[in-house]
Homo-oligomer: A and B are copies of this chain.
Amino acid sequence: MSFDQLWNIREEPFEPTKLHHKETIFTSGNGYLSMRGTFEEGYPGDRYATLVHGVFDDIPLVFTELVNIPSWFALGIRIAGERFSLASGKILRYRRWLRLRDGLLTRAVRWRSPAGCTVDLQFERFASLDDPHVLCQRLAVTPVDFSGEVQVQTGLDGRQDTLGFRHWVWIDQAIQESSAWLHARTRETKIELAMAMRVGIHGGHDLQQAGWDVEDHPTLSASWMAEPGETAVLEKIVCLYTSRDVDDPPRSAREKLAKLVGITWEALAQANQAAWAREWEACDVIIEGDDNAQLALRFNLYQLLIAAPRQDGRVSIGAKTLSGFGYRGHVFWDTEIFMLPFFTFTRPEIALNLLSYRCHTLPGARRKAQLNGFPGAQYAWESAATGDEVTPVWVPDFNDPRALVRIWCGDIEIHVSADVAYAIRQYWKTSGDDGFMLVCGLEIIVETARFWASRVEWNDEQSYYEFTDVIGPDEYHDHVDNNAYTNHMAHWHLTTAANLLDWAAQNYVAETEELFQRIGIGPEEPERWRQIAAQIYLPFDPDSRLIEQFDGYFQRRDLNLVEYGGRTRSMQAILGIEGASQTQVIKQPDVLMLLYLLPEMFDERTFQANYEYYNARTDHTYGSSLGPAIQAIMACKVGQVKEAYEHFLISAHADLYDVRGNAGDGIHGASAGGLWQALAFGFARLEFNEEGWAVNPRLPEHWRCLAFKFYYRGEQHSVEIRRGDTGYEVRTSQKDQT
């Protein structure tokens, strides 16, 4: 495959000051696990990580975290006796690139050792999309100007930490001349993991190999003699299982490795490429006329695809995907509202897995509701293996090492339960998957409706139902009353739950009766939900068409954000937590989010008025990474395509160019997911109605073409929007879901 500007993320030359950022960017994976783009030879302060879905362990303050598993791709290399390191000697050539087409990460370095031996090194690795338990690595070494010894050490290193904390307890290992395995378990959750590896070396002469049986770090050591221009290649295959996958991980890992005997590295790479080709066939989006946007978009979709569980319905994608330690692998509403639509429309099987996670964790949501004194189920603001609330209650205060800051999201940011219901209904409407709705979706929607019906408060003075003391999507303002987003979503949720029960009762009598009996529901309960919904306060000023974000928001101090241009920190960092809260500056478009999700509730003038009002008051650059993509969609809706494009780029570049300065903590998954929505629902203005679907494009001026595919009701539709001389030409085609 040749080097293709539209499919390759590249670093050239080496940028040592961006170590953590680049590690995140060059993350590769297969939806079962991902590994950061850390260098094989290791550097002090690097953030090595391979993260496997569902492998959580306990840790103080943040309760549970996704655990960095034993290292499998570290390489110790000596060239004529000198340790290879980019920090010593001289880098004569350097290129690192991630091939988005198939997830192959490559680095080519020409290095001159301190003693003057010049060598070409090419590193490659990938996690197979064809078989999620197979990891492949390759190193090619070619002396340029010397004859001498090349030594390489590679093993399975159990002594990994996760942000400094060690989770793994060694159990057992074995090693032979060219193969080894390691078996360990997590400290508290007792999840077992086993890796089996095999190394093959081709080329060179006087090859010597040895197995070093160092506890918790079985290491294979190889050395050979090489002449100038003579390339030797080391190939390493690792098979990995955990006790989440199989009963006996060491056995499964060893058996898988044994099955791969005789299969070449190239054959494994080809199987991976074939799997990726199918993936992109379904998911790719074409932008013509904007190579920058094309590459950035593919990068973001790739990052979603490598984090998407294909074999597991008990896990979901954390806010930082599997690409870093930020938010410790915890799952937020980011998945359902921002990432899920991409999967719902292009890879419904993956969407089903992600929603199944909310089924699997419904008991945890029930426990949270019960702890808070509510019936039904209340989803955790931050969720991990069990669905119990794992939002840290206290976090260290960066300004004062002696102090802690109280985090209230786990207590009062309650909209997430409606977000989950929204995603379920969207998936159901799009896929027509009544089965999922009946097996689990409806139960979630009903149980969480019960939570809303209990959480709602009657305001006797105003004669309406309301929600006081909440946090909406805009987290610059907490402990607010009647957050428009929350009230509307609760209203929608209660109404939808009642309607769905009617639908089920009419269409699936037996299943519905079983559900009614199982969770003890009678006809009076949905009736009551409708009554409550009808009386929930929905803030709206008919004159200005403005929706007040929460009670008293318009009375807060009105800052002119233009005066803060060129800043490099969030408005909250500048004004302080309390200071920001006293102003109308918002972290993300809270009301616009509502308009986006529930457009049927509002008219054009309302869109226009609220877009203008809130656009000027949003911390687009350093507020929430969730905002810009939604802002882009709403800008398209009100005809501001140029502004839409600007927001689109902020979102597209969030991680690629580290525009927020925190990409080192991991990919902003919601931003990546929002990007696809910005294309489909923003620029293409894809809409669904009773008759089917339609696009009504508003493309940026320099885009010649936008093309994408999506599934709707079991059929895959292709859309190609091409800018013609007089307007847009739209071509569509469709085929049945296989």
Contacts and interface: CB of A to CB of B under 8 A. Distances in A.
A159 B161 CA distance: 10
A229 interface: no
Interface string A46-79: 0000000000000011010000000000101000
Given A44-B171, A161-B165, 16 more contacts: A44-B170, A60-B61, A60-B396, A61-B61, A74-B215, A76-B213, A153-B213, A159-B159, A159-B216, A165-B165, A166-B166, A212-B214, A212-B219, A213-B221, A214-B219, A393-B402
Contacts of A277: none
Contacts of A402: 393
Nearest to A371: B402
A204 to B, nearest CB: 19
15 contacts: A44-B169, A45-B169, A60-B61, A63-B401, A153-B214, A153-B215, A159-B159, A161-B166, A164-B167, A212-B214, A212-B221, A213-B221, A217-B217, A394-B394, A394-B404
Q: Chain A: interface residue count, which band? A: 35 or more
Nearest to A172: B83
Contacts of A155: 214
A153 B219 CA distance: 14
A165 B212 CA distance: 26
Contacts of A404: 393-394, 404
Contacts of A76: 213-215
Interface string A145-157: 0000000010100
Nearest to A59: B164
Given A212-B214, A213-B153, A221-B212, A166 B165 contact: yes
Interface in A383-423: 393-394, 396, 401-404
A485 B509 CA distance: 78
A42 interface: yes
A61 B62 CA distance: 13
B42 A215 contact: yes
A187 interface: yes
A100 to B, nearest CB: 32
A56 to B, nearest CB: 15
Nearest to A173: B83
A74 B63 CA distance: 32
Contact of A164 (B159, B166, B171, B213): B166
Contacts of A63: 401
Contacts of A42: 215
B215 A214 contact: no
A171 to B, nearest CB: 7
Contacts of A401: 63
A652 B166 CA distance: 36
A401 B371 CA distance: 14
Give the 10 A-B CB pairs with smallest separation, nearest first. A159-B159, A212-B212, A161-B166, A44-B169, A214-B219, A214-B214, A164-B165, A164-B166, A393-B402, A76-B215
A244 to B, nearest CB: 20
A187 B164 contact: yes
Contacts of A212: 212, 214, 219, 221
